[in-house]
Amino acid sequence: GDSVTQMEGPVTLSEEAFLTINCTYTATGYPSLFWYVQYPGEGLQLLLKATKADDKGSNKGFEATYRKETTSFHLEKGSVQVSDSAVYFCALRVAGGGNKLTFGTGTQLKVEL
Amino acid sequence: NAGVTQTPKFQVLKTGQSMTLQCAQDMNHNSMYWYRQDPGMGLRLIYYSASEGTTDKGEVPNGYNVSRLNKREFSLRLESAAPSQTSVYFCASSGGGTTSYEQYFGPGTRLTVT
């Protein structure tokens, strides 16, 4: 079945450090890929998406490139801020079947001054 | 627009009690979903409704029932709560326009079963 694997957290960084959160997937067909972010006490919000191979999703300084050859969708940011502290979820959607999403287990990011 | 709303925000139940979690969306979305979030497990799909009048099981449906009351509302019922159902429950919706596959989430219901 479809699955998403994310790096374990928590990831602790100093402000202005470079961030990478790894995500790899297994899917039948050609999935769309997503990164969602969950701030403390809130629901998930869509951060960025990519719908086909080599697409780059970007938002709020975060980027991720859909790599079909390595089945990966790693999240990167050049300079993190304290306000980026949250839990980040990688997810995939395979067409059909009610637009269901399959989520990774989430990676907690803590950014310190 | 309020987006996706959920009630209640918090609930404590005793084992064997029943309750219904309510979810409503005002975005005219066709599809709605119920997830549970547990530490180290990510989000797991309980039930979903691809369109008004249909419901289907997700990954972890045992112990739950759902009702798609109308296009706006999708409720989740625990008939006889168990401690294993202690979790945070999220409702989501999707469908409409060019972003039809993006899911929008509610703020969650934190449920404790003692």
pLDDT at B99: 58
Contact list in B for residue A99 (CB cut-off 8 A) is 31, 50, 94-95, 100-101, 103
pLDDT at B92: 95
Q: Is A19 helix (H, G, I), strand (E, B) or coil?
A: strand
pLDDT at B100: 60
Contact list in B for residue A34 (CB cut-off 8 A) is 102
* Per-residue pLDDT at A8 exceeds 70: yes
* Per-residue pLDDT at B98 exceeds 70: no
DSSP string, A47-111: EEEE-STT-EEEETTEEEE-BTTTTB--EEESS--GGG-EEEEEEEE-SSSTT-EEE---EEEEE
Nearest-Cα distance to chain A for B2, in Å, is 14
pLDDT at B95: 82
pLDDT at A100: 85
| Chain A nearest-CA residue for B39 | A105
B109 contacts chain A (CB < 8 A): no
User: pLDDT (tens digit, 9 = 90+) per residue, B28-69?
Assistant: 999 999 999 998 888 999 999 988 889 999 999 999 999 998
pLDDT at A65: 97
B53 contacts chain A (CB < 8 A): no
R_g of chain B, CA atoms, integer Å? 13
Confidence of residue A61 (pLDDT cuts 50, 70, 90): very high
B25 contacts chain A (CB < 8 A): no
What average pLDDT does range A68-87 have in this prediction?
A: 96
User: pLDDT (tens digit, 9 = 90+) per residue, A20-38?
Assistant: 999 999 998 889 999 999 9
Confidence of residue B97 (pLDDT cuts 50, 70, 90): low
Sign of CA dihedral A61, A107, A25, A21: positive
Contact list in B for residue A43 (CB cut-off 8 A) is 4, 90, 92, 105-108
pLDDT at A49: 94
Q: Do B103 and A42 touch (CB under 8 A)?
A: no
Q: Strand A32-38 to strand A101-103: parallel, antiparallel, or no bridges (unpaired)? A: unpaired
User: pLDDT (tens digit, 9 = 90+) per residue, A80-99?
Assistant: 999 999 999 999 988 776 67
Q: Do A43 and B4 touch (CB under 8 A)?
A: yes
